[in-house]
Structure 1
């Protein structure tokens, strides 16, 4: 599929992109090549090929649902400049 500079100008306006006059021809060529590649992919024979979510077999690692970390909240709260009742206090940003 061939894209002309008028089409590139129109697409750039719709996308709110600033494309200079000297860039229109190269962008048109690049877009034409992308659309040609899409046409080639659309023409590929995919009969009998099952769709894949991922090309590799994936299995989930099962583990026990147990706590592995100790509660260090008090340690981290002690590092804060201001903390009360288990919460970090921060300066007011919006009035």
Structure 2
């Protein structure tokens, strides 16, 4: 049976996602979100924007790995910036 190799970056990634989900759940309980329209072509809530941001960040990373030889840290910085923009103005 093959087991997943839990490296520090892998563990930090999953801990970060879990922390974001717990934080968003608490935020939703304290202050329920309303749908709003931003630059995305549909009305979204905070949770919708989080899901769209995480999914698009995965595609940004995949494209970056496929199309460049640069450090993955650059893609990570781009994804963090993308998530901040999307969560604020999306």
Same fold (TM over 0.5): no
TM normalised by structure 2 equals 0.31
From the two aligned structures, give the one with the greater helix fraction: 2
User: Whose relative contact order is higher, 1 or 2, with alpha carbons under 8 Å and at least 6 apart?
Assistant: 2
TM normalised by structure 1 equals 0.30
From the two aligned structures, give the one with the greater strand fraction: 1
